[in-house]
Amino acid sequence: MGQQEILARFKDRNVLVLGDLMVDEYIWGRVSRISPEAPVPVVEVTHESLRAGGAANVAANLRSLGAQVHVVGVVGSDPAGERLVHELEGLGVKGDAVVVDRERPTTVKTRVVAGSQHVVRFDREDAGDLHSGTTRRLVERVRERLPHVHALLISDYAKGVVSQGLVRQVLPLARRLSKIVTVDPKIRHFRLFRRATAVAPNHHEAAAAAGAVIRSLDDLLRVGARLLKRLEADALLVTRGEQGMSLFERGGAVHHIPAAAKEVYDVTGAGDTVMSTLTLALAAGATMREAAVIANHAAGVVVGKVGTAVVTPAELRAALRAGRRS
**What's the mean pLDDT when you consider all of the chain?**
91
Residues tagged active-site: 272
H-only helix segments in the chain: 3-8, 55-64, 79-91, 132-145, 164-176, 203-210, 217-231, 270-283, 288-302, 313-325
pLDDT at 303: 79
- Could you tell me if residue 34 is inside a domain? no
Q: Is residue 159 part of a domain?
A: yes
Residue range(s) defining the domain that contains residue 199:
3-22+53-106+127-325
Which of 129-133, 150-154, 161-165, 303-307 has the least mean pLDDT?
303-307
pLDDT at 187 over 60: yes
pLDDT score, position 2: 86
For range 145-152, the mean pLDDT:
97
Domains identified in the chain, total number = 1
With respect to residue 47, please indicate whether it lies within any of the assigned structural domains: no
Longest Cα–Cα distance of the chain, Å, equals 63
Q: Is residue 40 part of a domain?
A: no
Q: What are 9-38's pLDDT values in tens digits?
A: 999 999 999 999 999 999 999 998 999 999
| pLDDT in the model for residue 266 | 46
In a domain, 115, yes or no: no
Q: Percent helix, strand, coil in the chain (nearest 5)? A: 40, 25, 30
Please report the pLDDT score of residue 325 as a whole number: 62
Could you tell me if residue 30 is inside a domain? no
User: Residue 195 falls within a domain, yes or no?
Assistant: yes
β 107-114/117-124 pair status: antiparallel
Tell me the whole-structure pTM to 2 decimals: 0.92
For residue 188, give the nearest of 127, 105, 106 by alpha carbon: 127
Q: What is the pLDDT of residues 213-249, one digit of tens each?
A: 999 999 999 999 999 999 999 999 999 888 889 999 9
Please check the confidence at residue 264 and state whether its pLDDT lies above 60: no
The proportion of the chain whose per-residue pLDDT surpasses 70, expressed as a percent, equals 95
Give the per-residue pLDDT at 326.
55
**Using CB atoms within 10 A of its CB, is residue 8 exposed (0-12), middle (13-18) or buried (19+)?**
middle
**For residue 214, what is the domain's CATH number?**
3.40.1190.20
The verdict on residue 119 lying in a domain is no
